[in-house]
Copies of this chain bind each other. A is one copy, B any other.
Amino acid sequence: MDIDTLCLCALSFEPATGYDLKRRFEKVYSYFYVAGFGSIYPSLARLAKDGLVDFVATHGPGPRPRKEYRITPQGTAELRKRLATANPVHRVHSDFLLLMLMADQIDPVRVDALIDERMAQIRAQLDALNASRAEKPVARPGVEFVRDMGETMLQAAAVYLKTHRKALVSALEAERDRQTPSS
């Protein structure tokens, strides 16, 4: 599933500018997808060229017109077709876990700080999720399913980190002391 399909999915909920999409991705979608401007704008241009979306241009701020994109009937049909054949790849790419795996090669103080940072990210994502829940309700069952699953997973991660961080850092400090006894 490429960015084009992702944009099509997002536009199937409601019209948006490229800028809007970026921020929407940061809210509801941030748990399982990321995309920057450098991907979104070329994607919207491709989709418009293929007639899967169209747009109304107004003269917003800045030198170029503000373009509000909408999905077209062809776009909806094409989206359905893609959703019917896509395969459900799911992958986690975590430098955080790789760092934790290598924790004994890192300063214990930094390991502790890394866990703090990760927990802050998790909290931020949970806040974004709850914020999107407070917005006008969407009558499509997938939204709630995905949102709740995201919340479940994020909370599980938070609980794990909270209850296991001490044991990890203690073990690292004990090992360090064994190698360079301070007394």
**Chain A residues close to B by CB (< 8 Å):** 1, 5-6, 9, 12, 29, 31-34, 79-80, 83-84, 86-107, 110, 114, 117-118, 121, 140-143, 145-146, 148-150, 152-153, 156-157, 160-161, 164, 167-168, 171-172, 175
Contacts and interface: CB of A to CB of B under 8 A. Distances in A.
Contact of A92 (B31, B83, B87): B31
Nearest to A149: B160
A32 to B, nearest CB: 4
B168 A33 contact: no
A152 B163 CA distance: 12
Interface of A is mostly: helix
A5 B98 CA distance: 10
Copies in the complex: 2
A150 B95 CA distance: 14
A90 B153 CA distance: 13
A174 to B, nearest CB: 9
Pick the 8 closest A-B CB pairs, nearest first.
A88-B96, A103-B142, A156-B156, A32-B94, A141-B171, A32-B97, A1-B95, A90-B94
A150 to B, nearest CB: 8
A171 B143 CA distance: 12
A118 to B, nearest CB: 6
Contact of A105 (B80, B164, B171, B172): B80
A105 B83 contact: yes
Contacts of A34: 91, 93
Nearest to A174: B141
